[in-house]
Amino acid sequence: MDARLEQYEVKMGKTLETLKEDYSTIRAGRANPRLLDKLRVDYYGQPSPIQSVANISVPEARIIQIQPWESKLIKEIEKAIINSDLGLTPSNDGKVIRLVFPELTEERRKELVKDVKKRAENARVAVRNVRRDANDALKKMCKASEISEDEQKNLEDQVQQLTDKYIAEIDKTMESKSKEILTI
């Protein structure tokens, strides 16, 4: 791989990582503590991630248990969960908050798979935009006589190989997440 193309490979890699992080927050019928990653609670005036103010565990396949370090945080955490787009109703016993994940309906599974595919398409578009940026930069270098036309062609081929590699990874990740969602 040519060193001049490294920055574009890094950008494509970041696109893939972002997609994987997005997928980890999609509720697939099983309890996954990563679903709470984006939620923040007010902790002494600071918006803080739930993980930094409570212990989070998964005692059963479809239950997340949140045990705040300070009992006054129970209401704050519940409020954050209710106001989120998780679609879950927290219950507490004064010490611990429990999130019970209902079985996903067939219709909801299909909606989630559509969302997974849409996010994958957005990632593919982002990778193609990086390819376009790389090719534009190579054309400018050729016009400025920094590289020859043969070098430009060779580098464009390498950019296309990178693009193909990352799009294949995106597709693989999408298939895997779709399969996970559709598995009952």
Same domain membership, residue 20 and residue 49: no
One-letter amino acid of 62: R
Write down which residue in 73, 100, 127 finishes a domain.
100
pLDDT of residue 27: 66
User: Quick one: pLDDT at residue 94?
Assistant: 83
Q: Which CATH number does the domain housing residue 141 bear?
A: 1.10.132.20
Write out residues in the chain with pLDDT < 70, as ranges: 1, 27-30, 184
Question: What is the model's pLDDT at position 39?
Answer: 83
Q: What is the pLDDT of residue 142?
A: 87
CB contact burial 129-160 (16+ within 10 A = b; e otherwise):
ebbeebbebbeebbeeeebeeeebeebbebbe
Q: What is the C-alpha to C-alpha distance for residues 117 and 35, in angstroms, rounded to an integer?
A: 19
Q: Name the residue range of residue 147's domain.
A: 3-24+105-182
Range list of β-strands (E), 19-154:
40-43, 46-49, 54-60, 63-68, 91-92, 97-100
The number of domains in the chain is: 2
- Domain of 42: which CATH number? 3.30.1360.40
Q: What is the pTM of this model?
A: 0.71
Instruction: Give 78-103 pLDDT, tens digit per residue.
Output: 888 888 877 778 888 888 988 887 77
Contact 64, 98 (CB under 8 A): yes
Residues 129 and 174 in one domain: yes
The reported pLDDT for the residue numbered 181 is: 83
